[in-house]
């Protein structure tokens, strides 16, 4: 039986164009630009200067704040400059720009391909290792993984949930990773279980990836306490709270973290990164990226070094199509539109989607006809039409009391609105303003 | 049964605002927010009941025996005005919280013809004291119902971009008109 | 012109003076208008009686409470040169579309309606209030011994006002009440 | 402000009904015909002018604390005078205006003028102000009455020129609200243009 | 006198007395003191309830004024921007205090990244909200400091004082501005500043808030401040400071000598409402083409006009030619 | 290449559009339109065409010359209003009354509020009630249906509706059982259309067919109709059980008058009904109770229009009071 969450949800066309394409290793770029801030939280503090020579895997920026993450060089070469570059955020932000020279790695990294199943480290060392290797969540939010693994005082983790849902249309990187690196991933899951002190893990996979479900179910036979669960195809099945609801039928209360109901959610890719970090001593310096789009000649999945400009990725997939209208970092539902093709791949880049001009055009915005479709698709049970209006009229008190902060920005409302209202745009703005107001009130 | 007819008649069939045209000024003026509308409704309920009792007593024990019916208007308004002012002063001292909620509406009530109107109508309809009280309460409820309904609609309209020329008072009046149209369905209910 | 201070004595005196003067003035006006008002009221009644009865020169008036009714009817027995010409009855119904209304019905020869006139009503303008138009002429000269005072829908002889059957029915009810009471009082 | 402006402001610029939204109850209730509107307007005008006169004459003799009650008594007296006079000489009109004659006393226009204007100005200005405001009020009521009568019974000041029924709603309560709404919208538009 | 009159006088007079007596005693018994001056002060305020004073509406401000007047016996730091000095003087006289005259302020838009000066590199679609766009990306022209042109400032103005110029894509302030500061608050990029109106409405300011180094700044916008420091050097009154590659002219120190204006290689320094320098033959003065070409397009107010120096770049005089004009400017 | 576009997520959109929804409703009404033409002949066609054209024209003129906004007459909503207005009037209504109805529906109830989506009240119903009160004579004389196969189309026989017969009979003091014989086979007749009434209320089957289509296309949801019909059955059922001689059975209420039309096509108008499913249930239940209240105790034989309009007025308050089920609220952790 395929499980699912109850409230809301939509089913956009899946368009998984690259699901049968094995992961290819993309050539190392000539120049890599590695931003300091590739994670949620404080930017890392830079350790290198212009002219320094670095090796692949060398620590180049240190996450010093509690919520922050280390940054490693993904290539070997010379630091050309430390300057502002346009990154996936759409802004010019500081990054280390490295002119690549050869491919010399740190000696401590184990580059051998064989599977290492035996886990030697204890809970504390594992978390330290994950911290050292700069692992962050690869499911989208890039939340530093070591922080997530430190269960707060008074709370108890009961179950680890591995998010292999990949509910975004087009994207296939997790899918391919689960098929090709399934064994490593399961070792990663075991490591995460030790780190959290739980003895049960559930891997949730949407039912449009039957091969991955089968593959991992077979492999999981060999592992204790790992269960694979198929899920109904419904967006946003992969959103943390919805996934928890679907898998263990618990609801994370408003404004609370999953640990409140004893769950911790990690992405499948994160599990693989944890395996590499702990067993192979390898920092998070490359990741799987899907390059896709309807007019792209050769959509595919690529293993890409962090810092590679997306233009090189696009070349590898057959070049930029003529009719390109929009280039999106991530999937079509939650991804960010990029404003330059020189943006580097960062830890959180799960895919690059190239949308044709025709499809990328937003339709004319009409008045809300109160069809209540947005209300019925919202997985959080909010009233997007109302939030939009309240934000437009700057009624922040009511925006807050109507629970704007619960919005997970899944975009279902925006997707479904027959009047093409830019609902999520305004809701995001509202979250921002209300967040500011709440913080300044808390500060007082 | 008598009372039920009075109540339904006053609230729905002959709604004081939508059908009798009493208390239109506060209906238009204090209906921009639901909360204030509720406050105003409460204040009117209180004053209307009190005023009806007092004026009924005056009519039946002073004016009628002395044959001074022609002084009705002046007596009633004087009494109502003093009553409102007294309530205001006392409330301010005794219950600042209630004053906060109702206080700002009290002065408005003096010039609210609903209160005087109901007092006069009670006499005209030859109600006894108990019927008069029920009538006053029912009318106040009818007033509050119309006011709260209307304020809900107006708050809703505030989030819509009504065409420039119609914004504000005109659209409020048109809405009230359609509401009155809808309430005609209650015609002859009792 | 300095304002008077709001001292207690001042306040009381002022209010007393103001109310006193007002009362004085109103009493005066009341006395002045008492007569005209009474005349106006009487004129109205007389006019109504005149409308429903043939010519007369004097009137005797009495009241009577109908059985089960809420208010009393007023009878105006008209005579001309000592000869009775007919009786006008000020009657009412509670079945109007908007509650009670009052009409005046004139009877001659005991059973024959000589005319009707609407005195006070709250029926809807344009609908119920058509009863004060030519519509009511259909009652004139009808002998109630053979005229069924019911609207046609209810099996009677009265043509209802279009879209105002309720008012028409009520009108019949008021007339009926007058007639019944008149009979009880022993005809003319 | 000169006296001419003082007089004319009540018609459009500060019209009590269309602009200040005061005295709406009689405005809506009695305007099913133009005549009723005019009658109500004139009755109000009389009260307005007379109370303005008296208030401006005795303003200095009234202590502040009892200002409002005194004014109310003065106004109520004139209302009663109107009531009695109308009853005596125009009983039909009195009947069709009904309860709204005594309610002139709570018409905010009257008290508002006494309070805001007459208690601060001299006799001459007060009379003109009262007259201007009152006629402005009458103008509004007559206009509204005329429009409603025209659509609602197909007549103008009682002269019928469409046989049979017209659009009944206009002389019922919804028609009052809706007509006033559109009149105000129209006036706003004309003022801008 | 008949009975009716006597009854009338007795009863009505009685009620009158009864009412006044009762009211008097009730009022005595339930007295609540409230400073009557608050009402007075409130009445003298413009009742715009715009919040420009920093308080929640005029009533709150009146309370604050009375309170501070009692505590500190001055009204320093409290100002009603809508009413200006007149109102504050009235308030002060109610509270029998003195007030200092405050220079009237006006909103100034410090960005000149018009469509011509900072061409679009990408196209934005979505909510018409600067605040939202500011969180989304750097802007259509690529400058992450400049105006987004979606008009949050325009929406925030209660006084109809700021409007979008559809040709430049930049907002323009007119003289209805009362310096309430709503637009300053509304702009997510802190582009708008309240500056003294200046004598004869004359103002000089740097029309740029870009803090990037010269190269990247210039790459996105022709008229960006590139932080070259020339103006700092030339200012005789030390009114210009340079921080984060951005020059800022202190309006208090600036004496409107206009020396800095021609100095700026990117024409980022704007002067408003100065007379057009009398030029002999050649079209040399910096400000001349500004005023001329805009005047031909736009209407009366020079304050608005001067903001668009580069809308016709072809007419722009060559830089070297500006140098000899220094003196002319000064003597004007 | 064009300039790259930048916008917030999401970057894809459904094919659903306002137009789609509105035309869906129009398609759903086609069976009922055909049936009405079958029974009332060309007169029905005349009323429908007039009404739709008038609505479109009024909207066009107002948008173009008065409000000065984009002209959106082809979004389908004005067509629906036109058809529903026509469905709510007798087939012999003079053209000028239809025109007044269109002006009130579109001009007063819709465009004055800002057009599609902003109106508080259901435009077609405002139009109908306005006409009903203004022109009680013309609006309550119902031509008797005459299938096209029958005799002359111009036959002007008018007759009362079943609800009218019932109301009159009860008012005249008859009991339900005495009146019933005057309305033989009413269920069958109303289902298939052989009964006096307005254009759109003659055939319940055709209307239900359209309703099923709208439900299937997810244009409407089941909540409002369910609550509406449910409360009608319960409330009228209670009355019926109390005194079957004075109150008719629930089935009669269900199939007569504009019940089916109102429940499926007008109470479901998304613009003037609540947003949350809970709200829709409350809305429907309230409308059902009011309908019976007016039908049984009020002056009018028919209460659907008034009931829906009154509930329209309550929608803002309902929207405030009945929020959707929020995530994290349903199961306690
Ligand atoms: C400010 C902040 C603090 C967080 N703290 C914790 C934490 O202490 N423990 C934890 O397990 N997750 C923590 N999280 C991570 C969230 O539970 C969640 O996994 C993360 O935001 C990514 O989720 P998403 O991709 O669904 O948005 C935190 C997230 C945020 C934004
Ligand atoms: C609407 C929405 C959809 C998401 N979809 C997915 C998904 O398909 N796969 C996934 O791994 N994470 C998805 N996430 C992120 C998860 O909520 C969660 O942050 C993540 O699984 C945590 O793992 P990580 O910290 O390892 O990234 C989604 C989040 C949101 C808000
Ligand atoms: C606002 C309004 C006022 C009405 N006023 C009256 C009225 O005064 N008298 C009346 O008999 N019917 C009046 N009716 C009509 C009744 O409701 C009812 O339809 C009618 O009397 C019975 O219909 P019929 O006469 O066509 O058989 C009014 C209807 C409405 C909507
Ligand atoms: C399911 C549905 C029902 C509708 N019902 C009505 C209706 O009863 N009356 C009406 O005027 N418009 C109706 N419309 C059209 C449209 O929503 C209506 O014109 C708007 O209220 C105008 O803003 C309906 C539309 C839909 C989708
Ligand atoms: S984006 Fe937010 S409001 Fe919209 S459907 Fe998703 S959670 Fe609900
Ligand atoms: S989906 Fe769009 S049209 Fe429908 S209610 Fe929500 S905002 Fe309005
Ligand atoms: S332009 Fe700015 S400062 Fe000036 S009045 Fe408008 S919002 Fe206030
Ligand atoms: S000045 Fe600021 S608020 Fe105004 S349009 Fe530009 S970015 Fe937006
Ligand atoms: S006249 Fe103002 S409330 Fe009635």
From chain D, which residues contact C within 8 Å (Cβ)?
32, 60-66, 69-70, 73-74, 76-77, 80-81, 84-85, 87-89, 91, 95, 152-153, 165, 168, 171-172
Touch test E–A: 3 Cβ pairs or more under 8 Å: yes
Q: Collapse the DSSP code of A430 into the 3-class scheme (helix H, G, I; strand E, B; otherwise coil) and give the result.
A: helix
Give the H/E segment covering residue B116: helix B113-124
Domain edges within chain F: 19-139, 166-321
Q: How far is CA D72 from the centre of its chain?
A: 17
Ligand 7 atom nearest to CA at E179: 3
Q: What is the pLDDT of residues C126-151, one digit of tens each?
A: 788 888 888 888 888 888 888 888 88
From chain D, which residues contact E within 8 Å (Cβ)?
65-66, 69, 73
* Contact between F107 and F115 (Cβ < 8 Å): no
Percentage of chain D beyond pLDDT 70 is: 98
Which span out of A414-428, B9-23, D118-132, E277-291 was modeled with the highest average pLDDT?
A414-428
Which pLDDT value is given to residue C4?
62
* Contact between C57 and C73 (Cβ < 8 Å): no
Q: Tell me the C-alpha distance between C169 and C176, whole Å.
A: 10
Looking at the domain assignment, is residue C25 inside a domain? Answer: no
**Arithmetic mean of pLDDT, F238-265:** 90
Query: Does residue D35 surpass a pLDDT of 60?
Result: yes
B93: nearest CB among E3, E15, E30: E30
At residue C67 the predicted structure's pLDDT band, cuts being 50, 70 and 90, is confident
Per the prediction, chain C carries an average pLDDT of 85
Q: What is the pLDDT of residues C12-51, one digit of tens each?
A: 888 888 888 888 888 888 888 888 888 988 888 888 888 8
Number of structural domains chain C divides into? 1
* Contact between F226 and F232 (Cβ < 8 Å): no
Q: What is the pLDDT of residues F117-172, one digit of tens each?
A: 999 999 999 999 999 999 988 888 787 777 665 444 444 566 677 888 888 778 77
Query: Does residue E294 surpass a pLDDT of 80?
Result: no
**Arithmetic mean of pLDDT, F100-124:** 95
* Long-range contacts of A181-186, Cβ-Cβ distance < 8 Å, separation of 24 or more: A181/A272, A182/A212, A182/A215, A182/A216, A182/A219, A183/A115, A183/A117, A183/A219, A184/A115, A184/A272, A184/A275, A184/A276, A185/A216, A185/A268, A185/A271, A185/A272, A185/A275, A186/A216, A186/A219, A186/A220, A186/A222, A186/A223, A186/A226, A186/A271
CA of F79 to the centre of ligand 4 (A): 9
Kindly report the pTM of this predicted structure.
Answer: 0.88
Query: Does residue E109 surpass a pLDDT of 90?
Result: yes
**Arithmetic mean of pLDDT, F178-206:** 75
At residue B130 the predicted structure's pLDDT band, cuts being 50, 70 and 90, is very high
Which span out of A255-259, B33-37, D159-163 was modeled with the highest average pLDDT?
A255-259
Q: Greater confidence, C72 or C187?
A: C72
Q: What is the pLDDT of residues D71-97, one digit of tens each?
A: 888 899 999 999 999 988 888 888 888
* Of C94, C96, C97, best ligand 3 pocket probe by most atoms within 8 Å of the beta carbon: C97
Query: Does residue E104 surpass a pLDDT of 70?
Result: yes
Q: Is B182 in the pocket of ligand 3 (CB under 6 A)?
A: no
ipTM: 0.86
Q: How far is E150 from chain D (nearest CA, A)?
A: 28
Q: Tell me the C-alpha distance between A385 and A375, whole Å.
A: 8
Token pair, residue C6, equals 């709001």
Which pLDDT value is given to residue F194?
64
At residue F199 the predicted structure's pLDDT band, cuts being 50, 70 and 90, is confident
**Arithmetic mean of pLDDT, B23-37:** 85
Which pLDDT value is given to residue F148?
61
Which pLDDT value is given to residue E108?
94
Q: Collapse the DSSP code of C116 into the 3-class scheme (helix H, G, I; strand E, B; otherwise coil) and give the result.
A: strand
* Contact between E301 and E229 (Cβ < 8 Å): no
* Residues of chain A found within 8 Å of residue B153, distances taken between Cβ atoms: none
Inter-chain touch F136–C163, beta carbons under 8 Å: yes
Give residue E101's region: left, alpha or beta (phi > 0; psi -120 to 50): beta
Q: What is the pLDDT of residues F309-321, one digit of tens each?
A: 999 999 999 999 9
Which pLDDT value is given to residue C51?
87
A326: nearest CB among F5, F115, F319: F5
Ligand nearest to the CA of E150: 8
CA of A372 to the centre of ligand 6 (A): 6
Domains of chain A, start order: 123-280 (3.40.50.11540), 373-443 (no CATH)
Query: Does residue E78 surpass a pLDDT of 60?
Result: yes
B120: nearest CB among D25, D28, D102: D102
Q: Tell me the C-alpha distance between A8 and A376, whole Å.
A: 6
Give residue C44's region: left, alpha or beta (phi > 0; psi -120 to 50): alpha
Which pLDDT value is given to residue B102?
65
Q: Tell me the C-alpha distance between A26 and D113, whole Å.
A: 85
Which pLDDT value is given to residue B101?
65
Number of structural domains chain D divides into? 1
Neighbours of chain E (3+ CB pairs under 8 A): A, B, C, D, F
CA count, 13 A, side-chain hemisphere, A415: 25
Which pLDDT value is given to residue F330?
57
Ligand 7 atom nearest to CA at E160: 6
Query: Does residue E284 surpass a pLDDT of 50?
Result: no
Percentage of chain C beyond pLDDT 90 is: 12
Q: What is the pLDDT of residues F29-75, one digit of tens each?
A: 999 999 888 888 888 899 999 999 999 999 999 999 998 889 999 99
Token pair, residue F201, equals 């209320």
Q: Is D178 in the pocket of ligand 9 (CB under 6 A)?
A: no
Inter-chain touch E144–A422, beta carbons under 8 Å: no
Atom 6 in ligand 6: residue holding the nearest Cα:
A374
- Which residues are registered as beta bridge partners of C92? C102
Query: Does residue D141 surpass a pLDDT of 50?
Result: yes
At residue E8 the predicted structure's pLDDT band, cuts being 50, 70 and 90, is confident
Atom 12 in ligand 2: residue holding the nearest Cα:
A139
Which pLDDT value is given to residue C3?
57
Residue of B nearest to F120 (CA): B153
Q: What is the pLDDT of residues A91-150, one digit of tens each?
A: 888 999 999 998 999 999 999 988 999 899 999 999 999 999 999 999 888 999 999 999
Q: Is C72 in the pocket of ligand 3 (CB under 6 A)?
A: no
Which pLDDT value is given to residue C6?
64
Q: How far is D165 from chain F (nearest CA, A)?
A: 8
Percentage of chain B beyond pLDDT 90 is: 44
At residue E36 the predicted structure's pLDDT band, cuts being 50, 70 and 90, is confident
Return the C-alpha torsion angle A139, A140, A143, A145, nearest 10. 20
Domain edges within chain E: 36-94, 105-276
Looking at the domain assignment, is residue C7 inside a domain? Answer: no
Which pLDDT value is given to residue E313?
39
Residue ranges making up the domain that contains D74 = 3-192
Q: Greater confidence, D162 or F280?
A: F280
Which pLDDT value is given to residue E192?
95
Per the prediction, chain F carries an average pLDDT of 88
Which pLDDT value is given to residue F183?
76
Q: What is the pLDDT of residues E208-246, one digit of tens each?
A: 999 988 888 888 899 999 989 899 999 999 999 998 899
Q: What is the pLDDT of residues E161-175, one digit of tens each?
A: 999 998 999 999 998
**Arithmetic mean of pLDDT, D19-45:** 89
At residue E34 the predicted structure's pLDDT band, cuts being 50, 70 and 90, is low
Q: Identify the segments of chain A with pLDDT beneath 50.
A: none
Query: Does residue E283 surpass a pLDDT of 50?
Result: no
Which pLDDT value is given to residue A149?
93
* Residues of chain D found within 8 Å of residue F136, distances taken between Cβ atoms: 168
CA of A178 to the centre of ligand 7 (A): 57
Q: How far is F117 from chain D (nearest CA, A)?
A: 21
Q: What is the pLDDT of residues A364-402, one digit of tens each?
A: 999 999 999 999 999 999 999 999 999 999 999 999 999
Inter-chain touch F100–D167, beta carbons under 8 Å: yes
B113 and chain D in contact, CB less than 8 A: yes
- Rounded-to-5 percentages of helix, strand, coil across chain F: 65, 0, 35
Q: Give Cβ neighbours of residue A178 (< 8 Å, ≥ 6 apart).
A: A164, A185, A205, A209, A212, A215, A216, A268
Query: Does residue B111 surpass a pLDDT of 80?
Result: no
Q: How far is B167 from chain A (nearest CA, A)?
A: 16
Q: Greater confidence, C129 or F273?
A: F273
Measured from CB, residues less than 6 Å from any atom of ligand 4 are F 21-22, 25, 77, 80-81, 84, 110, 116-117, 119, 122-124, 219-220, 265-266, 268-272
CATH class of E105-276: alpha beta
A422: nearest CB among E127, E138, E212: E127
For residue D60, give Cα distances in angstroms to B78, C132, D68. Answer: 21, 54, 14
Domain E36-94 of CATH type 1.20.1050:
no
Q: Give Cβ neighbours of residue E119 (< 8 Å, ≥ 6 apart).
A: E141
F172: nearest CB among C153, C162, C164: C153
C37 and chain D in contact, CB less than 8 A: yes
Ligand 2 atom nearest to CA at A411: 1
Write the DSSP assignment of E205-235 as a string of letters: EE-----S-HHHHHHH-TT------HHHHH-
């Amino acid at each position: 039986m395929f499980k699912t969450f109850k409230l809301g949800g939509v089913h956009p066309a899946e368009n998984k164009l690259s699901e049968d394409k094995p992961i290819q290793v993309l050539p190392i770029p000539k120049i890599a630009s590695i931003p300091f801030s590739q994670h949620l939280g404080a930017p890392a503090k830079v350790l290198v200067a212009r002219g320094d020579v670095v090796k692949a895997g060398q620590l180049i920026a240190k996450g010093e704040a509690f919520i922050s993450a280390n940054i490693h060089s993904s290539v070997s070469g010379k630091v050309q400059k430390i300057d502002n570059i346009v990154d996936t955020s759409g802004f010019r932000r500081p990054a280390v720009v490295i002119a690549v020279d050869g491919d010399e790695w740190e000696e401590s990294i184990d580059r051998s391909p064989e599977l290492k199943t035996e886990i030697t480290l204890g809970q504390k060392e594992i978390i330290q290792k994950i911290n050292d290797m700069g692992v962050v969540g690869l499911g989208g939010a890039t939340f530093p993984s070591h922080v997530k693994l430190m269960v707060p005082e008074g709370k108890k983790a009961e179950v680890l949930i591995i998010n292999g849902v990949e509910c975004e249309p087009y994207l296939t990187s997790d899918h391919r990773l689960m098929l090709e690196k399934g064994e490593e991933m399961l070792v990663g899951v075991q490591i995460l279980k030790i780190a959290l002190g739980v003895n049960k893990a559930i891997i949730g996979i949407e039912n449009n990836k039957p091969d991955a479900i089968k593959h991992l179910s077979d492999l999981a036979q060999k592992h204790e306490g790992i269960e694979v669960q198929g899920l109904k195809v419904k967006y946003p099945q992969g959103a943390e709270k919805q996934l928890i609801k679907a898998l263990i039928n618990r609801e994370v209360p408003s404004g609370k973290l999953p640990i409140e109901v004893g769950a911790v959610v990690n992405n499948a890719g994160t599990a693989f990164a944890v395996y590499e970090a702990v067993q192979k001593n390898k920092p998070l310096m490359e990741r799987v990226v899907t390059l896709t789009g309807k007019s792209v000649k050769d959509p595919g999945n690529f293993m890409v070094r962090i810092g590679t400009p997306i233009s090189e990725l696009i070349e590898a997939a057959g070049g930029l199509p003529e009719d390109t209208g929009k280039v999106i970092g991530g999937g079509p539902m939650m991804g960010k539109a990029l404003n330059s093709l020189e943006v580097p791949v960062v830890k959180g880049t799960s895919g690059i989607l190239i949308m044709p001009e025709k499809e990328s055009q937003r339709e004319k915005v009409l008045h809300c006809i109160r069809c209540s479709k947005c209300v019925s698709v919202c997985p959080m049970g909010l009233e997007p039409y109302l939030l939009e209006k309240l934000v437009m009229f700057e009624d922040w008190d009511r925006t807050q009391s109507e629970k704007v902060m619960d919005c997970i920005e899944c975009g279902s409302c925006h997707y479904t609105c027959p009047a093409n209202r830019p609902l999520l745009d305004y809701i995001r703005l509202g979250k921002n303003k209300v967040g500011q107001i709440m913080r300044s009130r808390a500060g007082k | 049964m008598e009372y039920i007819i009075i109540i339904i008649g006053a609230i729905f069939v002959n709604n004081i605002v939508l059908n009798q045209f009493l208390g239109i000024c506060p209906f238009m003026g204090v209906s921009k927010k639901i909360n204030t509308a509720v406050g105003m409704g409460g204040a009117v309920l209180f004053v209307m009941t009190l005023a009806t009792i007092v004026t009924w007593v005056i009519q039946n024990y002073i004016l009628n025996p002395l044959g001074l019916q022609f002084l009705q208007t002046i007596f009633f308004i004087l009494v109502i005005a003093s009553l409102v002012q007294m309530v205001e002063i006392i409330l301010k001292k005794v219950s600042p919280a209630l004053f906060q909620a109702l206080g700002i509406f009290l002065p408005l009530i003096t010039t609210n013809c609903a209160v005087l109107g109901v007092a006069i109508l009670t006499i005209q309809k030859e109600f006894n004291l108990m019927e008069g009280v029920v009538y006053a309460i029912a009318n106040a409820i009818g007033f509050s119902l119309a006011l709260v309904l209307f304020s809900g609609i107006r708050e809703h309209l505030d989030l819509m971009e009504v065409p420039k020329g119609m914004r504000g008072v005109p659209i409020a009046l048109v809405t009230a008109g359609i509401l009155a149209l809808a309430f005609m369905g209650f015609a002859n209910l009792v | 012109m300095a304002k008077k201070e709001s001292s207690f004595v001042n306040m009381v005196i002022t209010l007393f003076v103001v109310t006193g003067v007002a009362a004085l003035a109103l009493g005066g006006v009341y006395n002045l208008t008492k007569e005209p008002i009474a005349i106006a009221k009487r004129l109205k009644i007389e006019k109504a009686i005149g409308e429903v009865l043939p010519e007369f020169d004097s009137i005797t008036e009495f009241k009577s409470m109908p059985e089960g009714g809420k208010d009393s009817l007023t009878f105006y027995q008209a005579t001309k040169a000592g000869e009775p010409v007919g009786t006008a009855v000020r009657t009412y119904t509670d079945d109007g579309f908007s509650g009670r209304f009052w009409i005046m019905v004139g009877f001659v020869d005991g059973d024959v309606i000589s005319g009707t006139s609407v005195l006070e009503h709250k029926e809807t303008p344009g609908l119920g209030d058509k009863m004060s138009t030519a519509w009511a002429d259909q009652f004139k000269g009808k002998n109630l011994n053979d005229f069924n005072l019911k609207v046609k829908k209810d099996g009677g002889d009265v043509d209802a006002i279009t879209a105002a059957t309720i008012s028409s029915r009520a009108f019949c009810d008021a007339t009926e009440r007058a007639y019944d009471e008149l009979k009880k009082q022993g005809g003319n | 402000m000169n006296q001419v402006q003082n007089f004319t402001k009540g018609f459009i610029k500060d019209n009590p009904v269309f602009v200040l939204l005061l005295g709406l109850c009689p405005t809506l209730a009695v305007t099913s015909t133009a005549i009723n509107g005019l009658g109500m307007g004139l009755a109000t005008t009389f009260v307005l002018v007379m109370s303005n006169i008296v208030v401006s004459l005795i303003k200095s003799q009234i202590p502040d604390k009892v200002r409002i009650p005194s004014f109310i008594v003065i106004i109520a007296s004139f209302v009663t005078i109107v009531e009695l006079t109308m009853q005596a000489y125009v009983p039909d009109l009195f009947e069709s205006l009904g309860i709204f004659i005594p309610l002139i006393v709570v018409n905010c226009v009257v008290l508002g003028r006494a309070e805001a204007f007459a208690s601060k100005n001299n006799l001459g200005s007060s009379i003109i102000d009262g007259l201007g405001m009152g006629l402005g009020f009458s103008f509004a009521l007559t206009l509204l009455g005329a429009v409603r009568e025209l659509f609602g019974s197909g007549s103008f000041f009682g002269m019928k020129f469409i046989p049979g029924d017209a659009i009944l709603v206009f002389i019922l309560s919804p028609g009052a609200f809706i007509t006033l709404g559109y009149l105000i919208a129209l006036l706003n538009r004309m003022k801008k243009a | 006198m008949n009975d009716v009159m006597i009854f009338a006088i007795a009863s009505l007079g009685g009620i009158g007395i009864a009412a006044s007596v009762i009211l008097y005693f009730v009022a005595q018994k339930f007295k609540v003191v409230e400073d009557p001056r608050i009402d007075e002060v409130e009445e003298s305020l413009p009742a715009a309830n715009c919040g420009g004073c920093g308080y929640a509406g005029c009533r709150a401000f009146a309370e604050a004024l009375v309170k501070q007047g009692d505590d500190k016996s001055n009204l320093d730091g409290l100002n009603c921007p809508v009413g200006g000095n007149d109102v504050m003087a009235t308030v002060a006289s109610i509270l029998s205090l003195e007030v200092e005259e405050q220079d009237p302020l006006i909103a100034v838009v410090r960005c000149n990244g018009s469509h011509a000066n900072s061409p679009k590199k990408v196209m934005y679609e979505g909510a018409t909200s600067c605040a939202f766009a500011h969180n989304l990306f750097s802007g259509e022209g690529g400058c992450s400091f400049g105006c987004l042109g979606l008009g949050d400032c325009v929406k925030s103005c209660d006084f109809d004082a700021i409007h979008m110029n559809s040709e430049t894509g930049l907002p323009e302030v007119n003289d209805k501005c009362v310096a309430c500061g709503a637009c300053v608050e509304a702009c997510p990029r802190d582009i708008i500043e309240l500056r003294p109106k200046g004598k004869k409405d004359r103002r000089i300011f740097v029309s740029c808030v870009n803090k990037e180094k010269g190269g990247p700044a210039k790459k996105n916008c022709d008229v960006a401040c590139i932080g070259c420091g020339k103006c700092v050097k030339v200012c005789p009154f030390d009114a210009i400071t340079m921080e984060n590659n951005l020059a800022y002219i202190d309006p208090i120190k600036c004496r409107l000598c206009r020396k800095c204006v021609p100095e700026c290689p990117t024409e980022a320094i704007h002067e408003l409402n100065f007379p057009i320098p009398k030029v002999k033959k050649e079209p040399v003065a910096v400000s001349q083409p500004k005023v001329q070409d805009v005047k031909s397009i736009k209407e009366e107010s020079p304050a608005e006009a001067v903001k668009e120096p580069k809308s016709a770049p072809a007419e722009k005089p060559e830089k070297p030619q500006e140098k000899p004009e220094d003196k002319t400017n000064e003597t004007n | 290449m064009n300039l790259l576009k930048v916008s917030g997520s999401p970057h894809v959109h459904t094919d659903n559009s306002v137009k789609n929804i509105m035309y869906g409703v129009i398609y759903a009404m086609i069976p009922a339109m055909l049936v009405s033409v079958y029974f009332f002949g060309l007169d029905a066609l005349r009323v429908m065409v007039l009404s739709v054209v008038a609505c479109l024209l009024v909207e066009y003129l107002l948008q173009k010359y008065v409000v000065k906004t984009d002209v959106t007459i082809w979004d389908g909503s004005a067509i629906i209003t036109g058809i529903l207005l026509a469905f709510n009037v007798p087939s012999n209504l003079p053209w000028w009354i239809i025109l007044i109805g269109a002006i009130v529906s579109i001009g007063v109830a819709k465009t004055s509020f800002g057009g599609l989506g902003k109106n508080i009240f259901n435009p077609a119903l405002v139009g109908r009630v306005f006409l009903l009160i203004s022109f009680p004579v013309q609006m309550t004389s119902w031509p008797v249906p005459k299938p096209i196969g029958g005799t002359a189309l111009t036959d002007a026989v008018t007759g009362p509706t079943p609800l009218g017969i019932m109301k009159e009979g009860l008012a005249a003091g008859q009991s339900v059982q005495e009146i019933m014989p005057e309305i033989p086979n009413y269920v069958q007749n109303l289902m298939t259309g052989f009964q006096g009434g307005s254009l759109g209320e003659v055939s319940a089957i055709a209307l239900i067919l359209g309703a099923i289509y709208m439900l299937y296309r997810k244009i409407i949801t089941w909540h409002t109709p369910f609550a509406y019909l449910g409360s009608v059955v319960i409330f009228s059922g209670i009355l019926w059980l109390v005194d079957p001689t004075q109150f008719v059975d629930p089935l009669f209420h269900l199939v007569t008058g504009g019940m089916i039309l109102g429940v499926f096509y007008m109470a479901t108008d998304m613009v003037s009904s609540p947003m949350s499913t809970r709200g829709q249930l409350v809305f429907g239940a309230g409308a059902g109770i009011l309908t019976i209240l007016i039908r049984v105790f009020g002056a009018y034989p028919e209460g659907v229009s008034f009931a829906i309009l009154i509930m329209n007025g309550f929608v803002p308050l309902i929207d405030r009071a009945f929020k959707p089920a929020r995530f994290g609220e349903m199961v306690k952790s």
